[in-house]
Structure 1
């Protein structure tokens, strides 16, 4: 089981240990221009920490700073690589972008909104990023589900199920979802479940609770909830959530556990 709060930090440290100083300068004028493979230093923000990373930039610049759309690439030790593709403003990651970190055969992708060098995903983008952390298996979320979550971000999370009553609760069939991996109509479902494993980690300045749960028909679910919860191992509980995807992970018995992925808005 991987810890959500330490993955990005450890990969950034590997990249920093392989970075050197740069000397090449980008053109400095008010007129937008395009450069290729220019040496620059960008600042990444992770919580209260900042990291200066040296690398190569290809894209648009104004006054010597990345401005517009571009690609930044950096190499670390042992073949590790760091790539950001997306929007820049005043030399920093700003707007939508995709960061890809490859280290020791593992790939981590951070797709979403950036603000002054910090990954600041929307709620929907955040659930998609959680899918890259490989907690109960990796997964990706469709743009339609991300859009639904962002349009209803006040529900993710909510502390009371009363806040959900105005939402249309959809019928749910685990067999159908495992077959098609999508709902006929995107929306919340209500499930009564048994908690097999419950974990809580620090996550992007808040808390992330992730649960492995089962229903009465022995279907397994991986639930992700952007807050703390009073549900513990072996508890029964009710969840309101949106089905996002399917995934699987290697279990301690040497087999594979298949799960339906849920972005939970209420657990209690």
Structure 2
């Protein structure tokens, strides 16, 4: 009996030593969950099972493989490791997505830093936790539904992600039959938030009496126009118009230009407030010179600068307010030779009588204009910002104002009459 026991003791280490071996490119089949893989194994085999640190290569097709390097336990991928082009399913939000993964794994599940390329083309690089996109990362061409202007746009997002949700800086592009959106900028919790650049055909502006939906291209804050931009829409008459300029709070605010695709409507260049034209005195003067069937004239830069810098001189309450501002040496009759020479000075002249006078409201601003002859027989068109309650037709008046330029208009006999334009500072009976 002692001899048999001694023999058994000698055989045990021989058996144990025979169950463990190191192999290279060894054909080995392993099971990961319910999936069976056959590949080349390099590492330690114990009783035919992969154990410890090892490398496992599985053929995908004739040109590519997926590779795992890490720990095995009892023939299964277990513990920490890394993979390259590993076919798997990851979760982003509530959706499961099939594709290939390269990066850190734990128990064959993406865990830590890695890159996932989905079967439908999008890719994500960042952090994972147990097969789920979690933490910070960047995604490319991810199919995403964006709610904007009470519509849902289906498009693709490229940019920063936090826990599988667009957050940070990114771009969304949707090009469908009804909705086009191209936004680049900041995001918070899956929505456009903060500063960015937007191009879309579903932008809506609420004006004072109507809402218009059209195309917008420019800067935005929280998805609403802010900064410089361009808006194009069609009015109730079917005329297309474009505003290009300053925006704030989602609408026209600041300086801009409104251009119409029709000669029947006058273009506007000037200041805007909450979508409405609110021209300065000089801007209104320039605008009226371009209105169809009104007086046709141009305003030079010197006049514009003078009016802007001396806004309080139009209209004043009395002559004393103009004291020291009038050039008494300028004679209106001489300005016909060089109409723009004194366009930044205030002159004065007396008239025979007012031939025609009218008060009108333009862009919520009251203007009064009248036509007179001066004492030398010159025809003069006087345009005044505001009301002239005590001045009427056939009155003789003394006019103070800035000489602007020559103009022309149609008289009651359909003849063309030339006159000199004066921008009024003060009118005295």
Bin of the TM-score, shorter chain as denominator length: 0.7 to 0.9
- Per the alignment, residue 347 of structure 2 pairs with 189
Once the 2 structures are TM-superposed, how far is the Cα of residue 44 of structure 1 from its aligned partner?
A: 3.1
What is aligned with 1:264? 424
Within-5 A mapping of 1:1-268: 24=179, 27=183, 28-35=192-199, 37-45=200-208, 50-76=209-235, 79-103=238-262, 105-134=263-292, 136-169=294-327, 171-174=329-332, 176-184=334-342, 186-193=344-351, 194-229=353-388, 230-268=390-428
Q: Is the 8 A contact 2:288 2:294 kept in 1?
A: no
Q: Deviations over 1:229-266 (max 9, x none)?
A: 22211111001010122221121223101111111010
Displacement of 1:74 after TM fit? 1.3
SS of the equivalent of 1:162 reads helix
Normalising by the residue count of structure 1, what TM-score does the alignment of the two structures yield?
A: 0.80
Tell me if structure 2 keeps the 8 A contact 1:102–1:108. no
- Kept in 2, the 8 Å contact 1:131–1:140? The answer is yes
Q: 1:170 Cα shift?
A: 5.3
Q: 1:259/1:81 Cα in 2 relative to 1: closer, same or farther (>3 Å)?
A: farther
**How far is the alpha carbon of 1:222 from its aligned partner?**
1.2
2:302–2:343 contact (8 Å) kept in structure 1: no
Please provide the CA RMSD for this pair.
Answer: 2.5
Cα offset, 1:136, TM superposition: 4.1
The one-character-per-residue Cα deviations of 1:35-60 (angstroms, maximum 9, x if unpaired) are 2x532112334xxxx32122211222
Distance in 2 separating the partners of 1:92 and 1:168: 41
Q: Secondary structure at the match of 2:279?
A: coil
Specify the SS of the correspondent of 1:217.
coil
Aligned CA distance change for structure 1 residues 98 and 231 (closer, same or farther; 3 Å) = same
Contact 2:303-2:343 within 8 A present in 1 as well:
no
Kindly indicate whether the alpha-carbon contact (under 8 Å) linking 2:332 and 2:349 is maintained by their aligned counterparts in 1: no
Shift of 1:171: 3.5
| Unaligned segments of structure 1, at least 5 residues | 1-20
* In structure 1, distance between residues paired with 2:367 and 2:247: 29
Question: Quick one: distance in 2 between partners of 1:170 and 1:66?
Answer: 50
2:343 and 2:420 mapped to 1: Cα distance? Answer: 17
Tell me by how many angstroms 1:206 deviates: 4.6
Matched residues in 2 for 1:31 and 1:162: separation? 51
Task: State TM-score, norm by structure 2.
Answer: 0.52
SS in 2 for 1:228: coil
Structure 2 stretches lacking a partner, 5+ long: 1-148, 152-178, 184-191
User: C-alpha distance in 1, partners of 2:232/2:337?
Assistant: 39
CA distance in 1, matches of 2:232, 2:297: 25
Following the alignment from structure 2 to structure 1, what is the Cα–Cα distance between the partners of residues 332 and 324? 24
Determine the C-alpha separation between the residues in 2 that align with 1:259 and 1:54.
43
- The secondary structure found in structure 1 opposite 2:210 is strand
What CA distance in whole angstroms lies between the structure 1 residues aligned with 2:363 and 2:195?
37
Higher relative contact order, chain-length normalized (CA < 8 Å, sep 6+):
1
